[in-house]
Amino acid sequence: MLDLFQGLATLVAAEPRIFWGRIGLMLLGFLLIYLGKKGVLEALLMIPMGLGMASVNAGVMFLEGGAAGTLFVDPLVQGTDATMNILQIDWLQPIYTFMFSNGLIAVLVFMGIGVLLDVGFLMARPFQSMILALFAELGTVATFPIAVALGMTPREGAAVALIGGADGPMVLFASLILAKDLFVPITVVGYLYLGLTYGGYPYLVKLLIPRRLRAIPMPSEDIVNITSGQKLAFAVIACTLLCLLFPVAAPLFLALFIGVAVRESGLVKFQALLSDTVLYGATFFLGLTLGILCEASTILSPVVVKLLLLGILALTLAGVGGILGGYAMYFWYRGKYNPMIGIAGVSCVPTTAKIVQKLATEANPGVVILPHALGANISGVITTAILTGIYVALLR
């Protein structure tokens, strides 16, 4: 268990001074966020500083040689010659070296996504959302043994299985750590297939869910008033806890929840920075560099055919798993739950949630199931990040 949850393992193994220092700094991070939110301290500085402080002290893991460290930054690094020597005259080399080969591009995209997420949809119906998201992880779980059976190593199998999560940044991040030799084709295949969720999932839904069930309206429910303070508290606690359990994925957790924290803290200037400049800039260079990486000598390899097939399988199984979760909720609520919502557990935010609402409107105009779908959608992002942390922790 300690091998899996390395944040706890490093905490247990630390000398008392470091143990209590990490605990104290996590609590201090919480305090800075609270004081920033209340306006006692400067929110523009305290919110990101506090969450960064909590995350970096939670996300400590064992590195090479058994030394404890994090994946955020090494403030004691010396010498830049090695870094400068690998920068070539190729004009996109700096973008690739500084943004792709260390997963920074994934972190930047996640920051932008976090700003767009309203975790209130998840908090309003947490158990429904989490159950559907877990069902939708069928693709990331079932594809792994199939990939290994087809001759891939466990690390390669885990990297390609994460395509089933329909979350490109996590595919990129995991393949860098687990299957660096296949990083380029896995990432390219993963992002190519994300577009298929929009075009292919409607057919999968129509195949497996009859029109009369797609038309089921969700029963009226009491409106849960979730304040921005409660959403911020959720983001802070979830981020710190997940960093503590899965420090190897801590950069992704921090990036996602720092976006949520910025949104719920009302930091309008940071919201504009992350949702417009950072997200769109990172997405632009992500697409551009992925296109450049599709060079024939890199892509035309026999293993790519295997990756293509496994990518289709992973996303298909994820969709089927989500629909099975929707049916489970349909029977649990005795026919008063629209089973289509299940496929929104596949964490392609907000694409799968929009697909669900569109199909529901086609079947029965006036039906609104988007809030439920967004709850499952946001939960899917978190569960896929957790699966990424589990795979990387066990196999790296």
Between CA 23 and CA 31, with CA 26 as vertex, the angle to 5 degrees is 125
Judged against a pLDDT cut of 70, whether residue 230 lies above it is answered with yes
Span 14-40, pLDDT tens digits:
999 999 999 999 999 999 899 889 888
Q: Report pLDDT for 42.
A: 73
| Amino acid at residue number 147 | A
Strands (E), 214-368: none
Q: What is the pLDDT of residue 221?
A: 76
Q: Distance of CA 278 to CAs 97, 115, 272, Å?
A: 18, 11, 9
CA separation (Å) from 355 to 66, 199, 221, 348, 362?
46, 9, 23, 11, 11
pLDDT at 83: 61
Mean pLDDT, residues 286-299: 73
What is the model's pLDDT at position 78? 61
Chain segment 296-334, per-residue pLDDT in tens: 656 667 788 888 899 999 999 999 999 999 999 999 999
Taking residues 71-99, what's their average pLDDT? 69
Per-residue model confidence (pLDDT) at position 87: 62
Helix orientation angle between 104-116 and 168-178, rounded to the nearest 10 degrees: 150
Q: What is the DSSP string of 148-213?
A: HHTT--HHHHHHHHGGGGT-HHHHHHHHHHH-GGGHHHHHHHHHHHHHHHHHHHHHHHHHHS-HHH
The answer to whether the beta carbons of residues 304 and 140 sit under 8 Å apart is no
pLDDT at 137 over 80: yes
Rounded Cα distance between 99 and 47, Å, is 24
Give residue 296's pLDDT: 62
Say what percent of the chain tops pLDDT 90. Answer: 60
